[in-house]
Amino acid sequence: MGKNEPPYTISNRMLELVSSISEKAGKISSGLLVLIVAFSLTGCGSSRDALEISDTESAQAEEVGQETATATSQTIPETTTEPEPEKLTCQTGLYQEKTRADQVSVNAARELPEGEYGVLSYSYDETVSVWGNGAEDCLVIHDGDEEYRVEIPWRNMYSAPPAIEAADYDGDGDKEYYISTIQGTGTGIYVEGLYYVDVQKGTPKVSEYTNVVEDFDRRILAADTLDEQFHTLHVDFLDKNGKIDAQKSIDLDQTRLLQKLEGYTYKSIGVGAQIRYDFRGGQPFANVGVGINMNEMADLVYETGFNITAPVSMQKDGNFSLGDFSVQKTYSRYLEEENIDKEEPDMTEVYTGYYDLTHNGYKEKIVTKVHLEEENENLTEALRKAGNWGTVAVYEYLGDGQYGIIPLWSQEFAIAHAGNVQIFLTQKDGYDYLVTTSLWSGQGVCYYDYNVLSPVNYSFDRYHNELKGADHYDPQFFTGLESWLKEDSLLLVATDIDMPQGQEVILTTDEETHYAEEYLMVKKERLQSVEDID
C-alpha cells in the first residue's frame, strides 16, 4: 500500500515566504510555525554527518509556539468530508520539537535549493523522521541527536513521500531502520522499494529488497489451465515453511472476464507490476497484486486476480524473507456493468468515517452504501427484504484530499445467510482495527467466527468454531472477541436473522450511531436462552 500525504500540504508560496523571513535577522513572529528548517549538506555519503543549525536559527526556533499533542485517531470516527489535520509532536534532536504541520509536501521538496533538506515523513511513533530534497537521490534519517545520510533513490509522485520505521530488529541493542520509496509508475504499474539500514560503528549500511517478486512467485501454485466447466482458476499457496496452506487456497471465477474479453484465452498468472510496502507497528509488510495473463494480451488483467500481503524481515544471513501470506481476491464488481466507468448509481451512501486502518499515520475513508430496490425506503426495514443489500468499503488516502476509487477492502451484507455479517470499528493500544464476525445458526449447527483486520487485508487474530447438537453457546468466542472491543467500539452493521424480531438489521448511518455492546449483549442473551437449534 502506497504511502500517503496528509491533507494539509503547504503551498510553494508559503514555503517561499518562510524562507524569506528566516533569512532576516529579525525575530520570527510567535504565531508563525516554522515549515522548513534549511540545513547545509554536502553530497550523499556512507558516513554519518551531523547537520548543524546556526545560533540565530536556533534562537528563532525556540520562539516558535508549539501546540499540545492530541490523539492520532478516535474511536468514534469523524463524519466530515476529510480528516482534520493532526497536530502530533515529535522530538528530532538538534532540530527542536516539530509537529506534523511542519512536514513539507513532496511537491514542495522539488522546489528546495540544492543542499537544503525538508522533513518528508515521520515514523508512526513520531521518534524518527526522514528528510530529503526532491532533486537528489539522498535521504537523511533523523533519530534524536543522530543523523545518517543514505543513498536511496526516491521519486516525487502522487504526494507520497518516503516512509520510515525504526526498531531493534536484529536484537543487537541498537536501532535499525526500514525505508520504503516509490520506484516508478506507469500504465498498470506501481512499484515501491524497501531498504534496510543497519548502522554499524556510526556508518549506515543499506540493503535493498530486490527479490520480492521471486519470493512471492515461488510460493504461488496456480493451475496450468482453467476448469473447463466452471471457468475457475485454482490457486494454492505455500506457507513460510514451504508447505501448502490449505486455508489460503482460492478459486477465481473467470467467467465475467472471458465474457468481456470474448475470444481471449487464459495463459497464466503474473506478479510484479504492483508492489507496495506499508508499516504496521514498525513491521514492514509487502503487498503485491497478482493478475491474469491472457494469450492475446501484453498486459496483465487484475480485475479477476488477487492481492497478497506478507510481513517482511531481515534474516541473520543478510537476506530478506517473507512471512505467511494473507490473500484477498480482487474487487471486480464493475465487470458486471455495461459501462465499467459507471459509479453504481443504485447505491446510496449512508455513512462516511475516517480511521487509520493501515497504521501509517493517515486515515482511510470508510463508506457504507446500501442498495434499495424501491426509492425512499426506510433503511433498516428495507434491508430485511430480499434483493436489498449493502457494502462497507475502505478507500486509501492518496493525498490532497483525494481517495482511491477501488476499495482496499470491502464486504457485502444482507439478511440472507450468505450475507450474514457483523462489522465493528475499534481501537486497541492506540491502533485502529476492523473486526468482522459471522455468528449464526442453521441446520443444527452454530457457527462462531471472528477476524481482526488491520491493515485492512491482514488478519491479526482469527477464531472459528462449530457447535452441533445440544451445544449452542461458545463463551470462548465472546471472551476473545470482547478483548478487542470496548464500550465505544462502533458497530457499522449487523445483519443476523437469529436475532429477536425487529433486530435482524442494525446499521450505523451519519445520523444514527450504534455500538458493539448493544449487539453483543442481546446476542449472548439470545444464545444462552436457546434450548434447541433448528
Q: What is the DSSP string of 321-340?
A: EE---EEEEPP-GGGGSSST
Q: Where are the alpha helices (DSSP H) in 218-305?
A: 255-260
More confident residue, 114 or 33: 114
- Name the pLDDT band for 112 (thresholds 50, 70, 90): confident
Q: What is the DSSP letter of 498?
A: T
The yes-or-no verdict on residue 68 having pLDDT over 90 is no
Q: How far is CA 352 from CA 262, 344, 427, in A?
A: 38, 17, 18
Q: How many CB atoms lie within 10 A of CB 186?
A: 8
What's residue 321's pLDDT?
95
User: Which of 58-67, 207-216, 519-528 is least confident?
Assistant: 58-67
The yes-or-no verdict on residue 104 having pLDDT over 50 is yes
Q: How far is CA 109 from CA 16, 117, 123, 219, in A?
A: 12, 8, 18, 39
φ, ψ of residue 474 in degrees (nearest 5): -120, 95
- Name the pLDDT band for 17 (thresholds 50, 70, 90): very low
Q: Are 310 and 325 contacting, i.e. CB atoms less than 8 angstroms apart? A: yes
Place of cell 540493503: 207
The rounded mean pLDDT for the chain is 74
Compute the average pLDDT of residues 336-361: 71
Place of cell 501509517: 360
- Name the pLDDT band for 344 (thresholds 50, 70, 90): very low
CA distance 147 to 130: 9
User: Which of 80-94, 150-164, 176-190, 227-241 is least confident?
Assistant: 80-94
Compute the average pLDDT of residues 133-137: 73
How much is the pTM? 0.53
What's residue 188's pLDDT?
67
Q: Where are the alpha helices (DSSP H) in 153-303?
A: 212-217, 255-260
Could you tell me where the beta strands, DSSP code E, fall in 217-362?
Answer: 220-222, 232-237, 250-253, 266-280, 283-294, 301-314, 320-322, 326-329, 347-355
Q: Among 50-59, 309-318, 521-530, name the most confident range.
A: 309-318
Q: Which three cell numbers stand for residue 308?
A: 497478497
In three-state secondary structure terms, 524 is: helix
Residue 143 amino acid letter: D
The yes-or-no verdict on residue 120 having pLDDT over 60 is yes
In three-state secondary structure terms, 133 is: coil
Q: Are 207 and 318 contacting, i.e. CB atoms less than 8 angstroms apart? A: yes
What's residue 6's pLDDT?
36
Cβ contacts of residue 130 below 8 Å, gap of 6+?
119, 120, 121, 122, 139, 140, 141, 142, 161, 162, 163, 164, 179
Q: Are 161 and 6 contacting, i.e. CB atoms less than 8 angstroms apart? A: no
Q: What is the pLDDT of residues 352-410, one digit of tens each?
A: 999 999 888 889 999 999 876 666 556 656 665 655 678 899 998 888 888 888 788 88
Q: Look at phi and psi of residue 93 and say left if phi exceeds 0, alpha if psi is from -120 to 50, else beta.
A: left
Domain ranges of the chain: 12-181+195-204, 213-336, 347-529
In three-state secondary structure terms, 284 is: strand
The residue count for the chain: 534
Compute the average pLDDT of residues 298-321: 89
Cβ contacts of residue 398 below 8 Å, gap of 6+?
2, 4, 158, 159, 404
Q: 22 - beta bridge partners?
A: none
In three-state secondary structure terms, 207 is: strand
- Name the pLDDT band for 529 (thresholds 50, 70, 90): confident
Q: What is the pLDDT of residues 310-329, one digit of tens each?
A: 999 999 999 999 999 988 88
The yes-or-no verdict on residue 3 having pLDDT over 70 is no
Q: How many CB atoms lie within 10 A of CB 51?
A: 17
Q: Are 523 and 496 contacting, i.e. CB atoms less than 8 angstroms apart? A: yes
Cβ contacts of residue 114 below 8 Å, gap of 6+?
133, 135, 136
- Directed axis angle between helix 475-482 and helix 516-529, to 10°? 170
CA distance 135 to 154: 10
